[in-house]
Amino acid sequence: MAEVGFCVDSVYVNGMKHEPIDEVSAFEIKIDSSIKKGDFIKVEIYHQEGCVPKNLAVHTYPSRTIEFSNLAITDSAIISADVNAENRILLCVEQYRWNKWIKISEEIIVDSLQIVSFDVSQSVHSGQNKFRLCSRDAFSKKVFSKARTLGSTFNHDGYKIDRAKKVLTFEQPTRFELFDAYGNLVKMGEGDNLDLTNLKSGAYYLNYDNVNTKIKF
């Protein structure tokens, strides 16, 4: 409902004009029966100057059904699943790393029933790896699959800091994040070195491979 105060001139729903009820404090906008579950709804309210209608509707979103079945990950780090969605969604892969879930793949468009697979081998770190699928619909509502784990025999040999040149070199290429002493993200990326030349000397927190550590330079 919208509180009009006798000042609404016209209302449009998805481009179709709906006339408000005259001389009432509030009116209800009826949604056309042709609009189906999951469709986009755009409501435009035109009003007189100095009068702003108030939306009294409870903000709810249409329910979404997204199902993941046959979810699996291979020894070669290929994660796959059958995805069944009522409407078009965006889908990506997340990895649990550094005590949080992070997005590690580009989003792909999935329509209705589709078999999907992602190669996540470049994101495998030392020890136990955990991956899941993350879907996002038109309302940015997220739905996650169950997690799948993958063990790794790979061992990362760490890093070295050249304080004179202000560069940190990883023994093997890795994904990394660097935070300052206040928890602000100052560097992130992937590779075998981290340029520190534009940072003030002091204490920082480094995430790499599956490690959280504190560094000083």
Give 63-76 pLDDT, tens digit per residue: 557 899 999 999 99
- Averaged confidence pLDDT in the chain: 86
One domain, residues 13 and 49: yes
One domain, residues 100 and 22: no
One domain, residues 164 and 112: no
> Of 126, 152, 178, which marks where a domain is finished?
152
Is residue 14 packed enough to be buried (19+ CB in 10 Å), middle (13-18) or exposed (0-12)? middle
One domain, residues 34 and 111: no
Domain count, the chain: 3
One domain, residues 147 and 74: yes
> Of 135, 152, 169, which marks where a domain is finished?
152
Q: pLDDT-derived band of residue 50, with 50, 70 and 90 as boundaries?
A: confident
**Cβ(96)–Cβ(81) below 8 Å:** no
One domain, residues 104 and 35: no
Taking only the tens place, the pLDDT of each residue in 98-138 is 999 999 999 999 987 899 999 999 999 999 999 999 998 76
CATH number at residue 73: 2.60.40.10
One domain, residues 19 and 93: no
Taking only the tens place, the pLDDT of each residue in 128-179 is 999 999 998 766 688 999 999 999 998 999 999 999 999 999 999 999 999 9
101 found inside a domain: yes
Proportion of the chain above pLDDT 70, given as a percent: 83
Most distant CA atoms of the chain, gap in Å = 77
CATH number at residue 198: 2.60.40.3080
What local confidence, expressed as pLDDT, does residue 87 receive?
Answer: 80
One domain, residues 148 and 163: no
One domain, residues 49 and 111: no
Mean per-residue pLDDT, 181-195: 95
Mean per-residue pLDDT, 28-38: 66
One domain, residues 31 and 84: no
Mean per-residue pLDDT, 171-195: 96
Distances (CA, A) of 149 to 129, 171, 213: 5, 25, 24
106 found inside a domain: yes
CA atoms lying within 13 Å on the CB side of residue 200 = 4
Q: pLDDT-derived band of residue 25, with 50, 70 and 90 as boundaries?
A: low
Task: Name which of 21, 19, 31 is nearest 57 in CA terms.
Answer: 31
Q: What is the CA radius of gyration of the chain?
A: 26
What local confidence, expressed as pLDDT, does residue 62 receive?
Answer: 54
Stretch among 62-71, 150-159, 181-190, 193-202 having the lowest mean pLDDT: 62-71
60 found inside a domain: no
Its pTM stands at: 0.68
Instruction: For residue 86, report the phi and psi dihedrals to the nearest 5 degrees.
Output: -65, -35
pLDDT higher for 56 or 211?
Answer: 211
What local confidence, expressed as pLDDT, does residue 134 receive?
Answer: 96
Handedness of CA 36, 40, 46, 50 (dihedral sign): positive
> Of 152, 173, 190, which marks where a domain is finished?
152
What are the residues facing 107 on neighbouring strands?
Answer: none
Number of residues in the chain: 217
- What count of other Cβ atoms lies within 10 Å of the Cβ of residue 10? 12
61 found inside a domain: no
The single residue listed with the structure tokens 């300052």 is 180
One domain, residues 21 and 79: no
Tell me which residue range forms the domain holding 210: 159-216
One domain, residues 76 and 142: yes
